[in-house]
Amino acid sequence: MKLTVFEWESVCGTDLDPSGLKAFGEVKFYGKPDPREVADLVGDSEVVICSKVAFTREVIAACPRLSYIGVMATGYNNIDLVAAKERGITVTNVPDYSSDAVSQMTLAFILQFATNLIRYDASTRRGDWTRSALFCYYPYALTELKGKTLGLFGLGSIGKKVAKVADALGMRVIYHARTKKDLPYEFCDKETVFRESDYLSLHMPADAETGGIVNRETLGLMKKGAYLINTARGALVVEEDVAEALKAGRLGGYAADVLSVEPQLPDCPLLGLENCILTPHIAWAPNETRERLWDILLGNLDAWCKGAPQNVVNP
């Protein structure tokens, strides 16, 4: 069997061993390809492993032997599932491998806003405390999380973990989701979550219903000085509206591990803004998380080879 692997180093870096794939057949590794060259690089391979490479109807039609696409991620909107199913191509993903890591990043953002840790570190390195006339030096706001309200949009595996830690910190947890959960948190309508949250964190997929859910109107519902955290999808947020709210001081801060266009464009409206923290889509990337992803990915491929596919997204 022939396998083509795209974006290996982007997902698995230099610290994971790709040799496990070689047990399945002849493997070709490529980085991020020119979209016009994808079909040629696949050639006569039966199996493709990829992360963000687009497999459109046209690309799929140009890969006559392709029978399996293993996505090295939870999201799979880069694959035309209808075209794949019409061709009898099995598409699998890697679900719920990064919940611990992404919830950890979410709490790190919340704690940064509450403690101003980054500012205090930079200030101390500059010698500001040394030069201070007083021993007690706290020019940046410090806030206790106990008693504050954390609003969650979406209460899947990641949202539940964030809620559990927030609850342990003494925060009031409210949420909005498609369905009410049997959990000890307050289920609210969308408007209530925007209005009552001191910290609002997004944990939902981006689709026709949720795209742009954070916009000028909904930002206007939020408390002055509230904080917004996005470790889900950049498309959930109208970035120009968030930038406007930050500049006007209506929004206390915005922290995002995801952007509407990744990597960010030079004219991204959020770059360089005060109280705006941006990280390059790394919440999922701890070594332990990527090892888990790799184990599940190999398990998916092995199950398909044995005729009992798992984690199929186009049944």
Which residues carry out catalysis?
233, 262, 281
Query: Degrees (nearest 5) of the Cα angle 175, 211, 266?
Result: 115
Cα–Cα distance for residue pair 253/225, rounded to 1 Å: 7
Looking only at the bridges linking them, the beta strands covering 68-71 and 47-50 are parallel
And the tokens for 234?
A: 């950049």
CA distance 92 to 310: 7
Token output for 300: 């998916």
Alpha helices in 51-174 (DSSP H): 57-61, 81-86, 99-115, 117-126, 128-131, 157-168
**Cis ω before 280 (30° cut-off from 0):** no
Closest CA to 199 of 90, 107, 125, 116: 107
Q: Give kind and range of the element (H or E) at residue 244.
A: helix 239-247
For residues 43 and 10, give the distance between their C-alpha atoms in angstroms, rounded to a whole number: 22
Say how far apart CA 103 and CA 257 lie, in whole Å: 12
Which of the 8 DSSP states describes residue 206?
-
Question: 3-state class of 101 per DSSP?
Answer: helix
Residues ≥6 apart with Cβ < 8 Å to 195: 221, 222, 223
